[in-house]
Structure 1
Amino acid sequence: MPERYELEVANENERLDKFIAEKISTLSRTRIKELVKDNHILVNGVNEKVSYKVQQDDHIVVDVPALKPLSIDPENIPLDIVYEDEDVIVVNKPQGMVVHPSAGHPDHTLVNALLFHTKDLAASPEGFRPGIVHRIDKDTSGLLMIAKNAQARECLEEQLAHKTNKRLYLAIVHGNFGENSGLVDAPIGRDHFNRKKMAVTETGKNAVTHFTVLEQFQNYSLIQCQLETGRTHQIRVHLAYIGHPVAGDPLYGPHHTLKGHGQFLHAAVLGFNHPKTNQWLEFKVDPPKIFTQKLTELRETK
């Protein structure tokens, strides 16, 4: 059911989201941010930013719409669970699996599999991505962290926002490097000519990718990438931008490339502070067989 709260400010002078979170314990600051974005929170009849400092005698109205009912069918799809407790799940997503349902992928997703595995997944405002706090592309394999409750979701999302978690990727890319490491700092936004693609653009959002060269072959290299931000297709866009597109990438790479099932990109390492204990957890998984086989072939032709 939708709910309405009316709050009066006595003498506080703090951020709007913090003030509301302290007054309404059922709302996380992440949820408050979403409500502000959708004009469901008004200060004296005005839609203010979450960073707005509340003033004495401010009148705040918070309208909380009912969450959309979850209508995704659980599916008995095997999961490679690396870690699980009452708050989080760490899963090794296979290449070829979409993370959550969308218009083009209504089922057979990671979310469908998670719903069969457990009923304890943090609700999402949209309804179609319970538990999901970050994503990797369909044809990218590797580690994802899943939130099982609202507290875990908020904590994990804050770690992503404040860049305190760890995400390392392995990628086979086109070409060789003259340097051992590098940094790509270039904003990413929607491609002006192809809405299915992202691109480096002046109007895009800040995006930073660090890379280290691990091994070089004939016309290809194995590199490790560390994300500082998490934009859509970030690694794929950044590497194509510097002239080293991910091998096998059908969207950003050349037509002549390594044969596989999409880009050779793997989320190999994931680290974060546990949302309840604050203990640092770090996990590592090997790339899928097709990735390691391709590395063997490249080494043989080195």
Structure 2
Amino acid sequence: MNNYEFTVEEHQVQTRIDKLLTDLIEDVSRSQIQLWIKDGSVQLNNEPVKSNYKVEEADHITVTIPEAVELEAVAEDIPLDVIYEDDDVIVINKPRGMVVHPAPGHPNGTLVNALLHHCPDLPGINGVIRPGIVHRIDKDTSGLLMVAKNDVAHESLVSQLKAKTTKRLYQTIVHGVIPHEHGTVEAPIGRDKRDRQSMAVTDQNGRDAVTHFTVLETFEKYSYITCQLETGRTHQIRVHMKYIGHPVAGDPKYGPKKTLDINGQALHASVLGFTHPRTGEELLFEAPMPEDMSILLKKLQDSR
């Protein structure tokens, strides 16, 4: 069994416990959290709790869940926004809210389930649960992902990521006014020792992480920026922007409770570039900002 322990912090006070745990435990749905609460797997201060309980500061929450098992991903007829496809690679524009691969709490409805229907030959590449997946973006981040359709393509794309030759550019809205046009955050990222479900800048077992950013517009309380990844650590942009005091707007895990309403972080993987694994051609793709984020940005622009 896996045990998770959380102590409620000031900024989390008065959040429903089922919502809080959905934010804290990645890739687990709120309905799954509610089932765990119902069967007693969630304890509040060593006592059972109800899903609608609003947490108080210093509340101690314990979650006991079964060990993760290797799931058998099944093909599902889920529409995909295919930006590019040939015999070797496929580039997808993932919507916000879609999990990339199955996990306990998210056995279906994922990008992998959709890909297995779209590309029936994928199961032999990179294992049962992550067929063809080369990199991932968070559930509530939208944008471009490249997927390998055969072993040769998979090896090539993974090598390009390791060599830092791919181009990955994100659009995001962050809290606060950044006073300079360009910046680089170079700070190692690892598991947060206080919360194993989160990442943090840490010198202890942290892996090197580099994010370059450019400020496009500033507003009274926010900045609209692009971030270019040199490395690809878990939650990298979200952690780095929090580290420099400009957390991503709408981020339920790393941002403030009072933020812009976008049902997830205002973060979009807008540009993806790589070398084609067979032809050697340099490919570059762009995906427009999703509508809800575009509306949010326009409201900020109109309020100036």
Which TM bucket (shorter chain)? 0.7 to 0.9
Secondary structure in 1 aligned to 2:200? strand
1:248 pairs, out of 243, 247, 250, with 250
Q: What does the per-residue CA deviation read over 1:236-275, in whole Å, with 9 as the maximum and x for residues that have no partner?
A: 0000000000000000000000001100000000000000
Look up the equivalent residue of 2:95 and give its one-letter code.
Answer: P
CA distance in 2, matches of 1:160, 1:269: 15
User: Could you tell me the percent identity over the aligned residues?
Assistant: 61
1:122 CA displacement: 6.3
Contact 2:88 2:150 in 1 (8 A): yes
Residue of structure 1 equivalent to 2:163: 162
Which segments of 5 or more consecutive residues in structure 2 lack a partner in the other structure?
A: 1-68
The corresponding residue for 1:103 is: 104
Q: 3-state SS of the aligned residue for 1:99?
A: coil
Say how many residue pairs are matched.
235
For 2:222, the equivalent position in structure 1 comes to: 220
Q: 1:104 deviation in Å?
A: 2.3
* 1:87 and 2:88 correspond: yes
Unaligned runs of 5+ in 1: 1-67
Code of the residue aligned with 1:136 in structure 2: it is I
Q: Give 4+ residue runs of structure 1 displaced > 6 Å after superposition.
A: none
Is residue 2:289 matched to residue 1:287? yes
Match of 2:147 in 1: 146
- 1:164-215 deviation line (CA, Å, top 9, x unaligned): 1100000000000111010000000000011110000002000000000001
CA contact (8 A) 1:169 1:269 kept: yes
1:71 positional shift: 2.4
| Rounded Cα–Cα distance in structure 1 between residues aligned with 2:264 and 2:226 | 18
The answer to whether the Cα contact below 8 Å between 1:213 and 1:222 also exists between their aligned partners in 2 is yes
Change (3 A) 1:235 1:290: same
Q: In the alignment, what sits opposite 1:121? A: 122
Query: Normalising by the residue count of structure 1, what TM-score does the alignment of the two structures yield?
Result: 0.76
What is the one-letter code of the residue matched to 1:146? V
The one-letter code sitting in structure 2 at the alignment partner of 1:210 is: H
1:122–1:149 Cα contact (<8 Å) kept: no
Distance 2:281 2:93 in 1: 21
Secondary structure in 2 aligned to 1:196? Answer: strand
Q: CA deviation at 1:105?
A: 1.1
Q: Which residue identity does 1:216 align to in structure 2?
A: T
Aligned Cα RMSD in Å? 1.4
Match of 2:210 among 202, 208, 213: 208
Larger radius of gyration: 1
1:123 Cα offset (Å): 3.1
Aligned AA (2:263): H
Does residue 1:263 correspond to 2:246, yes or no?
A: no
1:43 corresponding residue in structure 2: none
- Partners of 1:88 and 1:148 within 8 A in 2: yes
Q: What is the identity, as a one-letter code, of the residue corresponding to 2:130? A: R
SS at match of 1:268: strand
What is the CA–CA distance in structure 2 between the aligned matches of 1:176 and 1:158, rounded to whole Å?
Answer: 37
Q: Which moved more, 1:73-82 or 1:114-123?
A: 114-123
